[in-house]
């Protein structure tokens, strides 16, 4: 849409210039053209052709990605970016109107008005792109946000960097670790990780869509909770795979990698990268429940075995209770008989005390 608007205005300007030039030549050299209107028509046609081709090429350099429905576009863009973009529209419009006044006054109307409209449109597009790219800086200057820039900093300048991947964002436990002070330092989220989460949020599969949205919401919560959150524009273009890009960036800058992906964490450890797994750390921080301890739990569902019931502690630990299949929804007193560790964490086995 933006490309076609720029193309139209440039075509109008160049057509008007061609018409004006042809008209001037026919007035000065009437014997060379026979009919006085011939040169004007030829100039207008040539100008229209040149403007259409050149306008398309020029317009693409100012294209703003509007290839999604408006409601999806709004959902993708953060609040600060939308605010800065709106401010950019107003600023670009005002500056464009001021600069277009001499254009309209000094040039012939056919050229002046078309060129003035083109100037206004290009300044609006330029202002929107600049203001959205520096949204948080502008809000900080206005006193609406007191935090450092979210974009443009370098990962290699940070000696306490934590590089976050999509699995850690989806997991959601990183926010609690940051708020408790267990994770200190700047949190870097590569732009390609944000794009990966956006792709999941737009997926047709409902499960993938929920995971993507949860990851984006977790990043937004981190953004609001700490001034140490940074969107990283650096990339590793020599790799196509997201995991390979993360490993390359972490190796290059000596950053810690925050991930819950088992395969990625093992590959990082083999390369000497320090890995922080919020899932493992959260598991280690759970209170220890030992064999023989008595607990009061709420049976939430039936277990896989005959007459088994399943309950969950406040920290999410699963408790399999014998002879509790008929007590769903009830609080029962149980004694822990054994514990085991699985791929998803600790699991307790217990029996009722009655």
Q: pLDDT for 267-309, tens place per residue? A: 999 999 989 888 777 666 666 677 888 888 888 888 888 788 9
φ, ψ of residue 352 in degrees (nearest 5):
-70, 150
Token reading at 156 = 């290699």
Whole-number pLDDT of residue 267:
92
Whole-number pLDDT of residue 282:
65
Flag whether pLDDT at 160 surpasses 70: yes
Whole-Å CA distances, 143 to 135, 138, 226: 12, 9, 17
Rounded mean pLDDT, 346-350: 86
Q: Where in the chain is the domain with CATH 2.40.50.110?
A: 294-352
Rounded mean pLDDT, 234-250: 87
Flag whether pLDDT at 312 surpasses 60: yes
Token reading at 159 = 């000696």
Whole-number pLDDT of residue 64:
45
Lowest mean pLDDT: which of 23-37, 105-119, 269-283? 23-37
Lowest mean pLDDT: which of 55-69, 125-139, 162-176, 245-259? 55-69
Rounded mean pLDDT, 25-46: 54
Token reading at 203 = 């997926």
Token reading at 210 = 């929920």
- Taking the CA atoms of residue 256, residue 259, residue 263 and residue 266 in that order, the dihedral angle to the nearest 10 degrees is 30
Neighbours of 101 (CB within 10 A): 11
Flag whether pLDDT at 217 surpasses 80: yes
Token reading at 92 = 């670009």
Fold category of 294-352 in CATH: OB fold (Dihydrolipoamide Acetyltransferase, E2P) (2.40.50)
Whole-number pLDDT of residue 291:
84
Give the pTM. 0.45
Neighbours of 277 (CB within 10 A): 21
- Quick one: pLDDT band at residue 244, thresholds 50, 70, 90? very high
Token reading at 17 = 């210039």
| DSSP SS3 for 134 | coil
| Dist CA 54 CA 279 (whole Å) | 55
Lowest mean pLDDT: which of 28-32, 69-73, 184-188? 69-73
Lowest mean pLDDT: which of 65-74, 100-109, 235-244, 254-263? 65-74
| Dist CA 214 CA 203 (whole Å) | 13
> Percent of the chain, pLDDT > 90?
5
Q: Where in the chain is the domain with CATH 3.40.50.1010?
A: 155-284
The CATH class given to the 155-284 domain equals alpha beta
Whole-number pLDDT of residue 138:
66
> What is the residue-averaged pLDDT of the chain?
75
Flag whether pLDDT at 72 surpasses 80: no
Rounded mean pLDDT, 169-194: 83
DSSP, res 34? S
pLDDT digits (tens, 9 = 90+) for 127-154: 877 777 666 666 666 655 544 444 445 6
Q: Which of 176, 180, 159, 179 is nearest to 168 (CA)?
A: 176
């Amino acid at each position: 849409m933006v490309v076609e608007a720029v193309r139209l205005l440039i075509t109008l300007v160049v057509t008007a210039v061609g018409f004006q030039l042809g008209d001037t030549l026919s007035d000065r050299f009437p014997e060379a053209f026979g009919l006085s209107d011939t040169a004007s028509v030829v100039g207008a046609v040539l100008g229209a052709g040149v403007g259409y081709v050149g306008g398309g090429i020029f317009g693409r350099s100012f294209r703003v990605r509007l290839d999604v429905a408006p409601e999806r576009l709004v959902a993708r863009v953060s609040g600060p970016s939308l605010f800065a973009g709106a401010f950019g529209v107003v600023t670009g419009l005002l500056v464009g109107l001021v600069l277009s006044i001499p254009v309209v006054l000094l040039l012939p109307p056919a050229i002046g008005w078309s060129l003035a409209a083109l100037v206004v449109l290009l300044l609006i597009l330029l202002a929107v792109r600049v203001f959205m790219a520096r949204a948080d800086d502008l809000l900080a200057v206005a006193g609406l946000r007191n935090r450092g820039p979210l974009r443009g900093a370098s990962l290699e300048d940070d000696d306490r960097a934590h590089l976050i991947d999509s699995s850690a964002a989806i997991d959601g436990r990183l926010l609690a670790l940051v708020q408790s002070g267990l994770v200190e330092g700047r949190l870097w989220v590569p732009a390609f990780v944000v794009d990966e989460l956006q792709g999941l949020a737009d997926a047709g599969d409902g499960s993938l869509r929920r995971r993507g949205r949860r990851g984006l919401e977790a990043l937004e919560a981190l953004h609001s909770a700490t001034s140490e959150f940074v969107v990283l524009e650096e990339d590793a273009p020599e790799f196509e795979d997201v995991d390979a890009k993360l490993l390359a960036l972490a190796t290059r800058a000596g950053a810690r990698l925050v991930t819950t992906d088992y395969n990625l964490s093992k590959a990082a450890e083999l390369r000497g990268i320090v890995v922080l797994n919020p899932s493992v750390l959260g598991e280690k921080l759970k209170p220890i429940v030992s064999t023989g301890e008595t607990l009061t739990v709420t049976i939430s569902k039936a277990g896989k075995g005959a007459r088994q019931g399943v309950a969950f502690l406040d920290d999410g630990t699963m408790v399999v209770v014998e002879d509790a299949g008929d007590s769903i929804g009830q609080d029962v007193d149980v004694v822990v008989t054994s514990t085991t560790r699985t791929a998803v964490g600790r699991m307790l086995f217990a029996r009722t005390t009655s």
